[in-house]
Amino acid sequence: MISIRSVGKTYRSRHGEVVDALDDVSLDVREKEFVSIVGPSGCGKSTLLKIIAGLVPASGGEVTIRGRPVREPFPDVGFVFQNAVLLPWRTVLDNVMFSIEMLGLPGNDYRARARDLIELAGLAGFERKYPWELSGGMQQRVALCRALVHDPSVLLMDEPFGALDAMTREEMGLELLRIWEERPKTIFFVTHSIPEAILLADRVVVMTPRPGRLARVLDIALDRPRAVEMEFDPRFKAYSEEIRALIFRPRRERVH
């Protein structure tokens, strides 16, 4: 479904400074797969997501979605940013409908779907409220609905729950899985939380410090549907330790 082939990224500033953000990243992702990405701050996770989204060009290599090279944003791809940026003058429903307007799709065809999603996200009755009348977690769910309303087959999420407290975050993760099981799609999920990465994903991609490379790709063999109690499963602990060792191992010991 998504093929990332030897993707590299070098940023060049106007003053001639050069930052190697990504180096030789290759990964194939199946249709309807849930992939988490973890790695130290500044290792190029957001850069990788933006390249897949067609928001930033790669310096080398190529990303294809269903065989088509990504050179600009595809309408079939949804993006959730770290901070829920809702439009304060629009109601919940109108915020969700914003993506439909931006894509130039007919509003009447999508309004019922927007309402269904809002309900699915546990926000029934809040359609006419404004963002400032909602809690942080509720705003995050509205942003999620907005990314899902045109039913993209690919969803790119950059630390979508980063601003939430631990409990709301866990709840949101399971909420996301529920929506994903109901309307399966291919998800890339960037997070700083190792347990969150494991709990949600089919595979966890661990990246090295800058320039970001793939340190390891772990298959998560836990049953679905996932539940918070799985964190006590010995396999969960083993995954967690493996990832932690990869991220915190001193650089010179790492085998390239």
Ligand X SMILES: Nc1ncnc2c1ncn2[C@@H]1O[C@H](COP(=O)(O)OP(=O)(O)OP(=O)(O)O)[C@@H](O)[C@H]1O
Q: What is the 3-state secondary structure (H, E, C) of the chain?
A: CEEEEEEEEEEECCCCCEEEEEEEEEEEECCCCEEEEECCCCCCHHHHHHHHHCCCCCCEEEEEECCEECCCCCCCEEEECCCCCCCCCCCHHHHHHHHHHHCCCCHHHHHHHHHHHHHHCCCCCCCCCCHHHCCHHHHHHHHHHHHHCCCCCEEEEECCCCCCCHHHHHHHHHHHHHHHHHCCCEEEEECCCHHHHHHHCCEEEEECCCCECEEEEEECCCCCCCCHHHHHCHHHHHHHHHHHHHHHCCHHHCCC
Q: Which stretch binds ligand X (CB under 6 A): 41-49, 135-143, 227-235, 243-251?
A: 41-49
Q: Which stretch binds Mg ion (CB under 5 A): 44-52, 66-74, 175-183, 228-236?
A: 44-52
Q: Is 15 one of the binding residues for ligand X (CB under 6 A)?
A: no
Nearer to ligand X, 81 or 98 (CB): 81
Q: Is 108 one of the binding residues for ligand X (CB under 6 A)?
A: no
Q: Is 53 one of the binding residues for ligand X (CB under 6 A)?
A: no
Among 27, 34, 36, 44, binds ligand X (CB under 6 A): 44
Shortest Å, Cβ 51 to ligand X: 9
Q: Which stretch binds ligand X (CB under 6 A): 26-34, 40-48, 134-142, 236-244?
A: 40-48
141, interface contact from Mg ion, ligand X, none, CB < 5-8 Å by kind? none
Shortest Å, Cβ 21 to ligand X: 4
Q: Is 41 one of the binding residues for ligand X (CB under 6 A)?
A: yes
Among 7, 43, 46, 202, binds Mg ion (CB under 5 A): 46
Interface with ligand X (CB under 6 A) = 11, 13, 19, 21, 39, 41-47, 210
